[in-house]
Amino acid sequence: MKKIAVVILSLLLSAGIVWAKGFEVQKKAGDLSVVVKMDNSPAVMGDNGVVVTVKDAAGKEVMDAGVKVEYSMPAMPGMPAMNYGAVLALNKDVYQGKLNFSMSGPWNVVVKIVRGGKTVSTKFTVDVQ
């Protein structure tokens, strides 16, 4: 019986650690690698802090880019299509900002990176609770 309790407790603890880690997704945008982190996992209605790390093909942080996050939800019954954008600000070697989700459900998120006159992007879905 004791062993089972320990196993259950450790399962609960590890689940808690995963929960606290927050949302994270790794993507490629052109020859750049992009890591998007959000401080809520799952994302919630209202403000969610977002941090984007951009690295070049050599693995070096890119700090001379313009980074914008566009997030949208297609129209659904009783709700017109919603489109928002957030321009992220460079803070040391990452780009930071806030995404404000006005309703729960799946949102399409596009990260656009402008560098040297060239735009690359990557997209993913966030399920807002």
Binding residues vs Cu ion (CB under 5 A): 73, 76, 79, 103
Closest approach of Cβ 123 to Cu ion, in Å? 18
Residue 35 beta carbon to Cu ion: minimum distance, rounded to whole angstroms: 27
Is residue 88 packed enough to be buried (19+ CB in 10 Å), middle (13-18) or exposed (0-12)?
buried
| Token digits of residue 56 | 């070049």
If the CB atoms of residues 76 and 114 are measured against Cu ion, the closer one turns out to be 76
Q: Nearest approach, Cβ of 71 to Cu ion (angstroms)? A: 12
Cβ distance to Cu ion smaller for residue 104 or 121: 104
Q: How many angstroms separate the CA atoms of 84 and 69, rounded?
A: 8
